[in-house]
Structure 1
Amino acid sequence: MSEQTSQLIHPVILCGGSGTRLWPASRESMPKQFTRLVSLESSTFQDTARRLADADVFERPCVLTSSDARFIVAEQLAEIGIDADIILEPERRDSAAAVAVAALHAARRDPRAVVLILAADHVIGDTPAFVEAARHAAAGARAGQIMTLGITPTAPATGYGYIRVGAALDGASGNHRVEHFVEKPDRAGAERLIAEGALWNSGYFLFRADVMLAELEAHVPEILTATRAALDGAVRDLDFVRLDAAAFGRAPKTSIDYAVMERTERAGVRPVAFPWSDVGTWDAVWAVLPHDAEGNALRGRVEALDTRGSLIHSEGEHLTTVVGLDDVVVVTTADAVLVTSKARATQVKDLVTRLREKAHPEADAHRRMYRPWGWYQRIDIGERFQVKRILVTPGGRLSLQKHYHRAEHWVVVKGTAEVTLNDAVVLVHENEAIYLPIGSMHRLTNPGKIPLELIEVQVGSYTGEDDIIRVEDIYGR
């Protein structure tokens, strides 16, 4: 391995989580890191990946994500022209297991590789400052410390953990020992911590792979054993590496903070002052967006009258109007509306819990559902019927499948469809239709160069998504 390669940082983007505090824009089917909540041009995941583009500082990134999100990750990386290793977690086991997998993955290339752990959903307002901070913190990591980036607080936030800064470390100037990690305080505690010079805990970690593996072995050996077995038993699935589910499931569910950082003698911190937010709640989204003269952050088709200090977020073609309200959050999507005060925005997570308890499908599923071949969107649903709009990207192919409880009618409105119906393969052009009887074996493919759009009308006793019997699928579902 060359000296230049050995000095590069191996970035690992943790891309799990559902972002329920940002419902209804963020849901299990499309979590906040993949949505355009902050930028109209890109997701925070894409912004995070772009932040690692300097080939003189960073190695090819690795992304840890869920199996359900794998095609979203691949598509969003392709949109910005970035290649990455994509490792699939069979289930959520919190950050300690993810960090263990990241360290093991890097160590197989170079046991002394410096790994950077970062979240996919953070907003950083100064990329050069972030890269420079990572370079300096990496010097501490090469010396054997487990470094974190500590953010200089801008307010007595109660939603973040804090870091008390200790003595300076040898080597690169500006790196310090961690004196103590502090749990999320109340407001008075946050004010006191800031007065004493404490920093926000960003959740960014830099370490040598061998050092982290030694600390995991010392403090949580059961996590290391489980994740090592999961990586040993991993299989390649198209462009993804799928961890062994049984082994990974044996890893205790805990954070890297509890598992290692609060126990290790090697914790270090690099104080930084670049603009940063984890945009974990709607009031945090309001804080990072541009404001008008009345302090409002307005997104989409919105009109506000006699309204101040508010976030009004409208998706799609909906016109959202607000009159005479201050410091509120109003979010409208195709199938749900949220209205809350900014002060109570953290309770949206509790609201989602209630929606799940009452079996509201909107708790987790968007009306538009993304698939590896494109997306579908429900237009209407009733007793014994459902209508969908379907888009298939060029070269996209749905699974070969059949249904026991419904027949389907496909009407092509744009492009050309190649339809397999039992033993026949036919082309269906714009303004043409085809009927798929109950029990027939069928498949839809877009052989053209433009997106294929069609209207699907389902008729039958049951139209749920679990009435799909897949016989063959190029995406391995």
Structure 2
Amino acid sequence: MQLLPVVMAGGSGTRLWPLSREMYPKQFLTLEAGQSMLQSTVGRLQGLDVLKPVVICNENHRFLVAEQLRQMGALQGNILLEPVGRNTAPAVALAALQASRDGADPLLLVLAADHMIQDTAAFQDAVGKALPLAERGALVTFGIVAQRPETGYGYIRRGKPVAEGAYEVAAFVEKPNLAVAESYLSEGGYDWNSGMFLFRASRYLEALKAHRPDVLAACQSAMADARSDMDFVRVDEAVFRACPDVSIDYAVMEKTRDAVLVPMDAGWSDVGAFAALWEVLPQDEQGNVHRGDVLSHDSRNNLVMSENALVATVGLQDTVVVQTKDAVFVAPRSRASEVKQIVDQLKRAGRTEHQLHREVFRPWGKYDSVDASSRYQVKRITVKPGARLSVQMHHHRAEHWIVVSGTANVTLDGVQHLLTENQSIYLPVGAVHALENPGKIPLELIEVQVGSYLGEDDIVRFEDLYGRT
């Protein structure tokens, strides 16, 4: 038996703003135990007999995924890129088609990268109960044992038992109002819909052909010309863009007669809002969750998170306070999910805080925009050992680079310059240049840009290790 984890790592980065952004959605956040949510998802597979996971992500997030998998030793050409988001049914179809090449037919364990599960043993136990069912052809979905009358989740109603700890799926139920959710909890037999699945690749493709042949045809066409690029698998963008946008539930699970439910009681949360984050993270004696440099006095039941500044509270209750380098968000905990309205305002105003953090990650490292005005910008740049930026030039800005740590190999108009700590170099407008870290430690430098236009799109790339020319 081959068990292939398929980790869906999409997301728009709106529900936990300003921690998450479009270019840095919540699955990349480190919320507990020193690992990101993506890394925790992969990590909880340890102990199961699984193949190296396939991670499905958006093109814009590919280097974030690659770096986080590399840190875990789990990177091996196993990132499947979606050129555009088309929901879970097409995403998993791409993974099933990729897994079926060369005649293989593994079981697919479909997981979301942005879920938090506190009891790994209970998670693995539920997977173990589902395995023989999936081997016999069932399309297994995992239902979370309901802990409270929740209106933010869909539900699955249990049918007849089909095995120990497994049931027929009687019905999928949309998100209920509070009164209906309370009745579900009192009646029993209703589980939260987790969006996690287990089935054989061929069985999923058969079900998709039966119920949504248009989705399958589009994914088959997109995969026909798929190509490998470094650690990524790229599909045909034009074909996949035309694929319908539909979830697994709507496309297959609500229509098939082979759906089976395995309940899971593992301390699960989709961390869909700050209130949910407050519930799952450890609280102090006053019910507070503090992250970062936080002081409080006579404050209770708060979630306070600080990225790089001291945050102090006095007499605060039931409140969310989130500080990042470029934004501060404050709301009653009960209304923190309305942060989406703030994100919408940012979009309408043409601002960028919903897209990027002040600190931006790149395949070669990262940069932090320390200061900026109309004609200058200051960045702190970190280049990983052995990494190299593209050979490039700018039409509208000159740059000054000052090395503060490590060694920089700078190529300027064909001439190489080796710079160490406290040395600098000037790059005139229009000069063709490249930057490389030849050392064994991170290279840190300060970049001062001066010019009439300072946008990131004023980069003409001539050569690039990361396929961005």
Q: TM-score when scaled to structure 2? A: 0.97
Name the CA distance, whole Å, in 2 between partners of 1:119 and 1:354.
28
User: Which residue pairs with 2:235 in the alignment?
Assistant: 243
Deviation sequence 1:143-181 (CA, Å, 0-9, x none): 221111111111111111101000111xx4221110000
CA distance in 1, matches of 2:74, 2:394: 38
Deviations 1:177-216 (A, max 9, x none): 1000001111111111122220011110111111111111
2:280, 2:457 → 1: CA distance? 40
Provide the residue aligned with 1:293 in structure 2: 285
- Contact persistence 1:310–1:328 (CA under 8 A): yes
Counterpart AA for 1:350: Q
Match of 2:183 in 1: 192
Determine whether 1:182 maps to 2:173.
yes
Partner of 1:261 in structure 2?
253
Partner of 1:151: 144
Query: 1:111, 1:208 within 8 Å by CA — same for their partners in 2?
Result: no
AA aligned to 1:379 is V
Residues 331-410 of structure 1: pairs in structure 2 closer than 5 A = 331-410=322-401
1:213-266 C-alpha deviation (Å, 9 max, x unpaired): 111111111111111111111111112111111111111111111111111111
Which amino acid in structure 2 is aligned with residue 267 of structure 1? A
Which residue of the partner structure matches residue 119 of structure 2?
126
1:319-338 CA-to-partner distances (Å, cap 9, x unmatched) read: 01122221110000000000
Q: 2:433 corresponds to which residue? A: 442
Alpha-carbon distance in structure 1 between the residues aligned to 2:185 and 2:135:
29
Q: Distance in 1 between matches of 2:288 and 2:351?
A: 31
Tell me the TM-score normalised to structure 1 length: 0.96
1:11 touches 1:61 (CA, 8 Å); kept in 2?
A: yes
Worse overlay, 305-314 or 396-405: 305-314
Question: Which secondary structure state, in structure 1, belongs to the residue aligned with residue 35 of structure 2?
Answer: coil
CA distance in 2, matches of 1:95, 1:168: 27
In the alignment, structure 1 residue 467 sits paired with structure 2 residue 458: yes
Write the distance in 1 (CA, Å) between the matches of 2:20 and 2:374: 29
Q: Displacement of 1:378 after TM fit?
A: 0.4
Structure-1 separation of matches of 2:148 and 2:184: 11
State the SS of the aligned residue for 1:412: strand
Query: What's the counterpart of residue 11 of structure 2?
Result: 17
Q: Aligned partners of 2:282 and 2:121: how far apart in 1?
A: 21
Task: Report the Cα distance in structure 2 between the residues aligned to 1:474 and 1:455, rounded to whole angstroms.
Answer: 23
Q: Note if 1:303 corresponds to 2:264.
A: no
| Aligned match of 2:306 | 314
Is 1:50 matched up with 2:49? no
Amino acid across the alignment from 2:178: R
Q: Distance in 2 between matches of 1:34 and 1:403?
A: 31
User: CA separation in 2, counterparts of 1:41 and 1:86?
Assistant: 23
Amino acid aligned to 2:133? G
* RMSD (Å), alpha carbons: 1.2
Shift of 1:111: 5.4
In the alignment, which residue of structure 1 is the partner of 2:52?
60
| Mapped contact 2:6–2:56 kept (Cα < 8 A) | yes
User: Which residue pairs with 1:283 in the alignment?
Assistant: 275
For the Cα contact (< 8 Å) 2:142–2:194, is it kept in 1?
yes
**1:363 partner SS:** coil
Is the CA contact 2:410–2:435 (under 8 Å) kept in the aligned structure 1? Answer: yes
- Maintained 8 Å contact 1:52/1:61: no
Deviations 1:270-310 (A, max 9, x none): 01211111111101110011111110101100012221111
Once residues 112 and 138 of structure 1 are traced to their aligned partners in structure 2, the CA distance between those partners, rounded to angstroms, is 14
Equivalence for 2:27: 33
Post-superposition offset of 1:8: 2.9
| Cα distance in 2 for residues equivalent to 1:140 and 1:439 | 63
Q: CA deviation at 1:110?
A: 4.8
For the pair 1:451 / 2:445, whether they are aligned, the reply is no
Q: In 2, Cα distance between the equivalents of 1:337 and 1:184?
A: 31
Partner of 1:327: 318
Q: Where does residue 90 of structure 1 map in the other structure?
A: 83
SS in structure 2 of the partner of residue 213 of structure 1:
helix
Q: Do the aligned partners of 1:111 and 1:210 also contact (CA within 8 Å) in 2?
A: no
Rounded Cα–Cα distance in structure 2 between residues aligned with 1:287 and 1:277: 9
* C-alpha distance in structure 2 between counterparts of 1:413 and 1:112, whole Å: 52
Residues 149 and 272 in structure 1, CA contact (< 8 A), matched pair in contact too: yes
Q: Which amino acid aligns with 1:80?
A: M
Give 1:40 shift: 4.6
Question: 1:360: Cα distance to partner?
Answer: 1.8
Separation (CA, whole Å) in 2 of partners of 1:429 and 1:83: 32
Amino acid at match of 1:53: Q
Offset, 1:83:
3.5
Q: Sequence identity of aligned pairs in percent?
A: 52
Q: What whole-Å deviation, never above 9, does each CA across 1:91-139 have from its counterpart, x for those lacking one?
A: 1111111111122122225554211110001111111221121121121
**2:13–2:24 contact (8 Å) kept in structure 1:** no
Q: Distance in 1 between matches of 2:45 and 2:2?
A: 11
CA distance in 1, matches of 2:233, 2:224: 11
Q: Structure 1, residues 448-468: CA drift from partner, whole Å, max 9, x if none?
A: 111100000001100010100
Are the counterparts in 2 of residues 57 and 135 from structure 1 also a CA contact under 8 Å? Answer: no
Per-residue CA deviations over 1:316-365 (Å, capped at 9, x if unaligned) read 2x001122221110000000000011111221122211111111211111
Gaps of 5+ in 1: 1-6
Partner Cα distance (2:166, 2:253) in 1: 16
